Amino acid sequence: MVVNIDRTGTVKGLERLIDETISVDGVRSLIILACGSNEFVPENIDKILKKIQIPLTGGIFVALIYKNEKIDKGSIVIGVSEELNFITIPFLSSDDADYEALLDENISVDDDFKTMFIFVDGYSKRISAFIDSLYNVIGSDTNYLGGGAGSLSFKQSPCLFTNNGLVADCAVVCGLHMKSSIGVSHGWKPVSIPYKITESEGNILKSLDWKPAFEIYQEFVQQYSNRSIARDDFYSLAKLFPFGISRLDSEWLVRDPISVLNDNSIVCVGEVTEGSHVHILTADNSSLIKAAENALLSSKENLSTSFNKQIRIIIDCVSRVFFLGENFIKEIETVCEGDIPIIGICTLGELANGGNRYLEFYNKTIVVATLEK
Protein backbone atom coordinates (compact mmCIF):
# COMPACT_ATOMS: atom_id res chain seq x y z
CA MET A 1 0.00 0.00 0.00
CA VAL A 2 1.01 3.61 -0.68
CA VAL A 3 -0.44 6.32 1.60
CA ASN A 4 -0.44 10.03 0.72
CA ILE A 5 -2.09 12.93 2.55
CA ASP A 6 -3.27 16.44 1.58
CA ARG A 7 -4.08 18.90 4.37
CA THR A 8 -5.53 21.73 2.26
CA GLY A 9 -8.95 20.13 1.77
CA THR A 10 -9.17 21.65 -1.71
CA VAL A 11 -10.26 20.04 -4.95
CA LYS A 12 -6.85 20.84 -6.46
CA GLY A 13 -5.17 19.27 -3.44
CA LEU A 14 -7.13 16.05 -3.94
CA GLU A 15 -6.42 16.00 -7.67
CA ARG A 16 -2.69 16.43 -7.02
CA LEU A 17 -2.80 13.66 -4.39
CA ILE A 18 -4.53 11.26 -6.78
CA ASP A 19 -2.01 11.96 -9.55
CA GLU A 20 0.90 11.49 -7.11
CA THR A 21 -0.46 8.14 -5.91
CA ILE A 22 -1.27 6.78 -9.37
CA SER A 23 2.26 7.61 -10.53
CA VAL A 24 3.76 5.11 -8.07
CA ASP A 25 4.76 1.83 -9.76
CA GLY A 26 2.45 -1.05 -8.88
CA VAL A 27 -0.58 1.01 -7.80
CA ARG A 28 -3.62 -0.59 -9.43
CA SER A 29 -6.54 0.71 -7.30
CA LEU A 30 -7.35 3.73 -5.12
CA ILE A 31 -9.14 4.23 -1.81
CA ILE A 32 -9.97 7.92 -1.25
CA LEU A 33 -10.82 9.22 2.22
CA ALA A 34 -11.91 12.84 2.65
CA CYS A 35 -13.11 15.17 5.43
CA GLY A 36 -16.61 16.59 5.30
CA SER A 37 -15.23 20.11 5.85
CA ASN A 38 -13.64 19.89 2.38
CA GLU A 39 -17.13 20.47 0.97
CA PHE A 40 -16.65 18.05 -1.90
CA VAL A 41 -19.83 17.78 -3.99
CA PRO A 42 -20.56 16.13 -7.35
CA GLU A 43 -20.25 19.48 -9.15
CA ASN A 44 -16.58 19.88 -8.22
CA ILE A 45 -15.45 16.26 -7.83
CA ASP A 46 -17.19 14.07 -10.42
CA LYS A 47 -15.12 15.26 -13.38
CA ILE A 48 -11.95 14.25 -11.50
CA LEU A 49 -13.27 10.83 -10.51
CA LYS A 50 -14.61 9.98 -13.96
CA LYS A 51 -11.25 10.48 -15.66
CA ILE A 52 -9.38 8.06 -13.36
CA GLN A 53 -8.54 4.90 -15.29
CA ILE A 54 -8.06 2.51 -12.35
CA PRO A 55 -10.75 1.28 -9.91
CA LEU A 56 -11.47 3.54 -6.94
CA THR A 57 -13.72 3.85 -3.92
CA GLY A 58 -13.82 5.60 -0.55
CA GLY A 59 -15.95 8.11 1.27
CA ILE A 60 -16.41 11.49 2.90
CA PHE A 61 -16.21 11.32 6.69
CA VAL A 62 -16.48 13.78 9.56
CA ALA A 63 -12.76 13.43 10.29
CA LEU A 64 -9.77 11.26 9.43
CA ILE A 65 -6.98 9.74 11.50
CA TYR A 66 -3.38 9.81 10.32
CA LYS A 67 -0.57 8.47 12.48
CA ASN A 68 -1.35 9.85 15.97
CA GLU A 69 -3.56 12.80 15.05
CA LYS A 70 -7.12 13.62 14.04
CA ILE A 71 -7.44 15.38 10.69
CA ASP A 72 -10.42 17.75 10.40
CA LYS A 73 -9.63 19.02 6.90
CA GLY A 74 -7.93 17.29 4.03
CA SER A 75 -7.80 13.95 2.24
CA ILE A 76 -5.93 10.66 2.32
CA VAL A 77 -5.41 8.59 -0.83
CA ILE A 78 -4.32 4.96 -0.51
CA GLY A 79 -2.78 3.18 -3.47
CA VAL A 80 -3.42 -0.59 -3.48
CA SER A 81 -1.34 -3.08 -5.41
CA GLU A 82 -4.38 -5.24 -6.26
CA GLU A 83 -6.73 -4.38 -9.11
CA LEU A 84 -9.87 -4.34 -7.00
CA ASN A 85 -13.40 -4.91 -8.21
CA PHE A 86 -15.52 -2.33 -6.38
CA ILE A 87 -19.22 -3.23 -6.42
CA THR A 88 -21.78 -0.47 -5.85
CA ILE A 89 -25.07 -1.62 -4.33
CA PRO A 90 -27.84 1.01 -4.70
CA PHE A 91 -31.13 1.65 -2.88
CA LEU A 92 -29.80 1.19 0.65
CA SER A 93 -33.00 2.65 2.08
CA SER A 94 -35.45 0.77 -0.13
CA ASP A 95 -37.86 -1.69 1.48
CA ASP A 96 -38.10 -3.53 -1.83
CA ALA A 97 -34.40 -4.02 -2.59
CA ASP A 98 -33.16 -7.62 -2.66
CA TYR A 99 -29.56 -7.13 -1.56
CA GLU A 100 -28.74 -10.83 -1.56
CA ALA A 101 -29.73 -11.12 -5.22
CA LEU A 102 -27.73 -7.99 -6.12
CA LEU A 103 -24.66 -9.34 -4.35
CA ASP A 104 -25.02 -12.79 -5.92
CA GLU A 105 -25.03 -11.17 -9.34
CA ASN A 106 -21.90 -9.11 -8.73
CA ILE A 107 -19.57 -10.94 -6.34
CA SER A 108 -17.80 -14.21 -6.97
CA VAL A 109 -17.45 -16.31 -3.82
CA ASP A 110 -14.66 -18.33 -5.47
CA ASP A 111 -12.06 -15.54 -5.21
CA ASP A 112 -10.85 -16.55 -1.73
CA PHE A 113 -10.96 -13.01 -0.35
CA LYS A 114 -9.23 -12.60 3.01
CA THR A 115 -10.66 -9.16 3.81
CA MET A 116 -13.81 -7.39 2.63
CA PHE A 117 -13.89 -3.57 2.63
CA ILE A 118 -17.34 -1.97 2.96
CA PHE A 119 -18.30 1.70 2.79
CA VAL A 120 -21.95 2.67 3.25
CA ASP A 121 -23.98 5.86 3.32
CA GLY A 122 -24.36 6.25 7.10
CA TYR A 123 -27.83 7.79 6.77
CA SER A 124 -29.32 4.89 4.80
CA LYS A 125 -32.19 3.07 6.50
CA ARG A 126 -31.41 -0.57 5.73
CA ILE A 127 -27.70 -0.95 6.41
CA SER A 128 -28.17 -3.94 8.72
CA ALA A 129 -30.35 -5.71 6.15
CA PHE A 130 -27.64 -5.16 3.56
CA ILE A 131 -24.77 -6.49 5.70
CA ASP A 132 -26.86 -9.52 6.73
CA SER A 133 -27.20 -10.28 3.02
CA LEU A 134 -23.48 -9.70 2.47
CA TYR A 135 -22.61 -12.12 5.25
CA ASN A 136 -25.02 -14.71 3.82
CA VAL A 137 -23.36 -14.46 0.41
CA ILE A 138 -19.69 -14.30 1.44
CA GLY A 139 -19.77 -16.26 4.70
CA SER A 140 -17.60 -16.37 7.81
CA ASP A 141 -14.21 -17.17 6.27
CA THR A 142 -13.63 -13.51 5.38
CA ASN A 143 -12.83 -10.59 7.70
CA TYR A 144 -15.07 -7.55 7.20
CA LEU A 145 -14.08 -3.94 7.77
CA GLY A 146 -15.71 -0.61 7.00
CA GLY A 147 -17.96 2.20 8.12
CA GLY A 148 -20.64 4.77 7.43
CA ALA A 149 -19.81 7.87 5.43
CA GLY A 150 -21.59 11.22 5.68
CA SER A 151 -21.48 14.63 7.31
CA LEU A 152 -22.94 15.92 10.60
CA SER A 153 -25.80 17.65 8.80
CA PHE A 154 -28.05 14.66 9.66
CA LYS A 155 -29.13 14.83 6.02
CA GLN A 156 -28.33 12.33 3.29
CA SER A 157 -26.06 13.62 0.52
CA PRO A 158 -23.53 12.12 -1.95
CA CYS A 159 -20.70 10.78 0.22
CA LEU A 160 -19.19 7.70 -1.48
CA PHE A 161 -16.50 7.84 -4.16
CA THR A 162 -16.89 5.71 -7.30
CA ASN A 163 -15.47 5.83 -10.82
CA ASN A 164 -18.83 7.29 -11.87
CA GLY A 165 -18.71 10.09 -9.30
CA LEU A 166 -20.03 10.77 -5.80
CA VAL A 167 -23.12 8.75 -4.85
CA ALA A 168 -25.62 8.56 -1.97
CA ASP A 169 -27.82 5.85 -0.43
CA CYS A 170 -25.44 3.13 -1.61
CA ALA A 171 -22.89 0.66 -0.36
CA VAL A 172 -19.54 -0.01 -2.01
CA VAL A 173 -17.87 -3.36 -1.31
CA CYS A 174 -14.72 -5.06 -2.52
CA GLY A 175 -12.71 -8.11 -1.63
CA LEU A 176 -8.96 -8.04 -0.95
CA HIS A 177 -6.51 -10.91 -0.81
CA MET A 178 -4.65 -9.16 2.05
CA LYS A 179 -4.81 -10.94 5.39
CA SER A 180 -6.21 -9.00 8.34
CA SER A 181 -6.85 -9.25 12.05
CA ILE A 182 -9.67 -7.28 13.68
CA GLY A 183 -10.64 -6.22 17.22
CA VAL A 184 -13.92 -4.56 18.24
CA SER A 185 -14.87 -2.85 21.51
CA HIS A 186 -16.91 0.13 22.79
CA GLY A 187 -16.85 0.62 26.58
CA TRP A 188 -20.51 1.61 27.09
CA LYS A 189 -22.44 0.22 30.08
CA PRO A 190 -26.20 -0.05 30.80
CA VAL A 191 -27.75 2.39 33.29
CA SER A 192 -31.47 1.82 32.69
CA ILE A 193 -33.98 -0.99 32.94
CA PRO A 194 -34.62 -2.93 29.71
CA TYR A 195 -37.27 -1.50 27.39
CA LYS A 196 -39.04 -3.42 24.66
CA ILE A 197 -39.07 -1.92 21.18
CA THR A 198 -42.79 -2.11 20.50
CA GLU A 199 -42.75 -0.23 17.20
CA SER A 200 -39.97 0.61 14.79
CA GLU A 201 -39.37 1.15 11.09
CA GLY A 202 -35.84 0.70 9.81
CA ASN A 203 -33.67 3.12 11.78
CA ILE A 204 -36.65 4.92 13.33
CA LEU A 205 -37.51 3.95 16.90
CA LYS A 206 -41.19 4.76 17.34
CA SER A 207 -42.20 3.33 20.71
CA LEU A 208 -40.75 1.69 23.82
CA ASP A 209 -43.05 -0.32 26.08
CA TRP A 210 -45.97 0.97 23.96
CA LYS A 211 -45.17 4.62 24.70
CA PRO A 212 -43.63 7.19 22.33
CA ALA A 213 -39.87 6.58 22.31
CA PHE A 214 -38.84 10.19 22.96
CA GLU A 215 -41.11 10.44 26.04
CA ILE A 216 -39.48 7.38 27.64
CA TYR A 217 -35.99 8.49 26.67
CA GLN A 218 -36.46 12.10 27.77
CA GLU A 219 -37.83 11.09 31.16
CA PHE A 220 -34.97 8.69 31.89
CA VAL A 221 -32.17 11.02 30.77
CA GLN A 222 -33.57 13.88 32.86
CA GLN A 223 -33.86 11.70 35.97
CA TYR A 224 -30.40 10.18 35.52
CA SER A 225 -28.43 13.29 34.55
CA ASN A 226 -30.57 16.03 36.10
CA ARG A 227 -30.42 17.72 32.69
CA SER A 228 -33.29 18.39 30.33
CA ILE A 229 -32.93 17.03 26.81
CA ALA A 230 -34.41 19.42 24.24
CA ARG A 231 -35.93 18.47 20.92
CA ASP A 232 -34.12 21.26 19.03
CA ASP A 233 -30.72 20.46 20.59
CA PHE A 234 -31.24 16.74 20.98
CA TYR A 235 -27.83 15.36 20.06
CA SER A 236 -25.79 17.54 22.40
CA LEU A 237 -27.02 15.38 25.31
CA ALA A 238 -28.19 12.27 23.46
CA LYS A 239 -24.59 11.56 22.37
CA LEU A 240 -23.91 10.65 26.03
CA PHE A 241 -26.81 8.17 26.26
CA PRO A 242 -27.02 5.68 23.37
CA PHE A 243 -29.25 2.63 23.21
CA GLY A 244 -27.81 -0.84 23.71
CA ILE A 245 -29.34 -3.98 22.17
CA SER A 246 -28.28 -7.06 24.10
CA ARG A 247 -26.43 -9.87 22.33
CA LEU A 248 -25.93 -13.33 23.82
CA ASP A 249 -22.40 -13.86 22.50
CA SER A 250 -20.91 -10.37 22.41
CA GLU A 251 -20.93 -6.84 23.78
CA TRP A 252 -23.96 -4.63 23.53
CA LEU A 253 -24.86 -3.63 19.98
CA VAL A 254 -24.98 0.14 20.36
CA ARG A 255 -27.38 2.41 18.49
CA ASP A 256 -26.74 6.16 18.37
CA PRO A 257 -29.90 8.35 18.69
CA ILE A 258 -29.38 11.45 16.53
CA SER A 259 -32.70 13.31 16.19
CA VAL A 260 -36.39 13.45 17.13
CA LEU A 261 -39.32 13.51 14.73
CA ASN A 262 -42.59 15.37 15.21
CA ASP A 263 -44.38 12.20 16.34
CA ASN A 264 -41.82 11.66 19.15
CA SER A 265 -40.00 8.92 17.24
CA ILE A 266 -36.21 8.83 17.55
CA VAL A 267 -33.97 8.51 14.49
CA CYS A 268 -30.95 6.24 15.07
CA VAL A 269 -27.84 5.39 13.05
CA GLY A 270 -28.68 1.84 11.96
CA GLU A 271 -31.78 -0.31 12.27
CA VAL A 272 -33.59 -0.93 15.54
CA THR A 273 -35.51 -4.20 15.36
CA GLU A 274 -39.06 -4.37 16.65
CA GLY A 275 -39.39 -6.87 19.49
CA SER A 276 -35.80 -6.41 20.69
CA HIS A 277 -35.02 -5.20 24.19
CA VAL A 278 -32.79 -2.16 24.72
CA HIS A 279 -31.12 -0.44 27.63
CA ILE A 280 -29.93 3.14 27.78
CA LEU A 281 -26.13 3.19 28.10
CA THR A 282 -23.47 5.64 29.18
CA ALA A 283 -19.68 5.73 29.56
CA ASP A 284 -16.78 7.86 30.75
CA ASN A 285 -13.43 8.79 29.26
CA SER A 286 -11.54 5.96 30.94
CA SER A 287 -13.97 3.25 29.79
CA LEU A 288 -13.83 4.45 26.17
CA ILE A 289 -10.03 4.61 26.11
CA LYS A 290 -9.89 1.19 27.77
CA ALA A 291 -12.13 -0.11 24.98
CA ALA A 292 -9.57 1.10 22.42
CA GLU A 293 -6.90 -0.84 24.29
CA ASN A 294 -9.13 -3.94 24.31
CA ALA A 295 -9.77 -3.63 20.56
CA LEU A 296 -6.03 -3.42 19.92
CA LEU A 297 -5.33 -6.45 22.11
CA SER A 298 -8.06 -8.47 20.35
CA SER A 299 -6.58 -7.56 16.98
CA LYS A 300 -3.13 -8.66 18.08
CA GLU A 301 -4.45 -11.92 19.54
CA ASN A 302 -5.82 -12.84 16.12
CA LEU A 303 -2.67 -11.74 14.32
CA SER A 304 -0.87 -14.23 12.14
CA THR A 305 2.89 -14.48 12.60
CA SER A 306 3.17 -14.29 8.82
CA PHE A 307 2.34 -10.55 8.83
CA ASN A 308 5.79 -9.24 7.94
CA LYS A 309 4.71 -5.74 6.91
CA GLN A 310 1.71 -4.20 8.60
CA ILE A 311 -0.64 -1.24 8.36
CA ARG A 312 -3.22 -0.44 11.03
CA ILE A 313 -6.67 0.85 10.13
CA ILE A 314 -8.92 2.48 12.74
CA ILE A 315 -12.69 2.75 12.29
CA ASP A 316 -13.81 5.05 15.13
CA CYS A 317 -17.32 6.39 15.69
CA VAL A 318 -17.53 10.17 15.42
CA SER A 319 -19.66 10.30 18.58
CA ARG A 320 -16.65 9.01 20.53
CA VAL A 321 -14.76 12.05 19.21
CA PHE A 322 -17.42 14.36 20.66
CA PHE A 323 -17.62 12.46 23.95
CA LEU A 324 -13.86 12.39 24.53
CA GLY A 325 -13.11 15.90 23.26
CA GLU A 326 -9.43 16.67 23.84
CA ASN A 327 -8.98 13.15 25.23
CA PHE A 328 -9.69 11.66 21.81
CA ILE A 329 -5.97 11.93 21.06
CA LYS A 330 -5.35 9.57 23.98
CA GLU A 331 -7.61 7.01 22.30
CA ILE A 332 -5.63 7.29 19.06
CA GLU A 333 -2.33 7.05 20.90
CA THR A 334 -3.56 3.88 22.60
CA VAL A 335 -3.57 2.03 19.28
CA CYS A 336 -0.26 3.46 18.00
CA GLU A 337 2.69 1.09 18.24
CA GLY A 338 6.21 1.60 17.00
CA ASP A 339 6.48 2.47 13.32
CA ILE A 340 3.30 0.68 12.17
CA PRO A 341 1.45 3.15 9.85
CA ILE A 342 -1.93 4.31 11.16
CA ILE A 343 -4.87 5.37 8.97
CA GLY A 344 -8.40 5.90 10.24
CA ILE A 345 -11.86 7.32 9.66
CA CYS A 346 -14.39 8.82 12.08
CA THR A 347 -17.61 7.22 10.95
CA LEU A 348 -21.39 7.20 11.22
CA GLY A 349 -21.43 3.56 12.30
CA GLU A 350 -18.78 0.87 12.10
CA LEU A 351 -18.77 -2.44 10.20
CA ALA A 352 -16.72 -5.39 11.44
CA ASN A 353 -16.72 -8.99 12.62
CA GLY A 354 -13.90 -9.09 15.14
CA GLY A 355 -12.66 -12.61 15.91
CA ASN A 356 -15.35 -15.17 15.16
CA ARG A 357 -18.23 -12.73 15.62
CA TYR A 358 -21.10 -12.27 13.22
CA LEU A 359 -20.83 -9.23 10.95
CA GLU A 360 -22.55 -6.25 12.63
CA PHE A 361 -23.24 -2.57 12.02
CA TYR A 362 -22.04 -0.92 15.24
CA ASN A 363 -22.42 2.59 16.68
CA LYS A 364 -20.14 4.38 19.17
CA THR A 365 -17.58 1.61 18.74
CA ILE A 366 -13.89 1.45 17.86
CA VAL A 367 -12.61 -1.13 15.38
CA VAL A 368 -8.87 -1.80 15.16
CA ALA A 369 -7.64 -3.75 12.15
CA THR A 370 -4.12 -4.80 11.22
CA LEU A 371 -3.54 -5.66 7.56
CA GLU A 372 -0.53 -7.05 5.79
CA LYS A 373 0.89 -4.14 3.85
Residue 352: predicted pLDDT: 93
Residue 309: predicted pLDDT: 63
Residue 247: predicted pLDDT: 72
Alpha carbon distance 31, 141 (integer Å): 23
Residue 202: predicted pLDDT: 87
Residue 343: predicted pLDDT: 96
Three-class DSSP category at 233: coil
Alpha carbon distance 137, 157 (integer Å): 28
Residue 155: predicted pLDDT: 85
Q: What's at 157, amino acid-wise?
A: S
Evaluate whether 364 touches 317 at the Cβ level (below 8 Å): yes
99: closest CA among 347, 353, 359? 359
CA distances from 116 to 138, 147, 368 (A): 9, 12, 15
Give pLDDT < 70 ranges for the chain.
109-110, 248-251, 302, 304-309, 354-356, 373
Query: Does the predicted TM-score (pTM) go above 0.75?
Result: yes
Residue 115 bridge partners (DSSP)? 143, 176
Residue 252: predicted pLDDT: 81
Main-chain dihedrals φ then ψ at residue 298, nearest 5 degrees: -60, -40
Residue 353: predicted pLDDT: 87
Alpha carbon distance 260, 267 (integer Å): 6
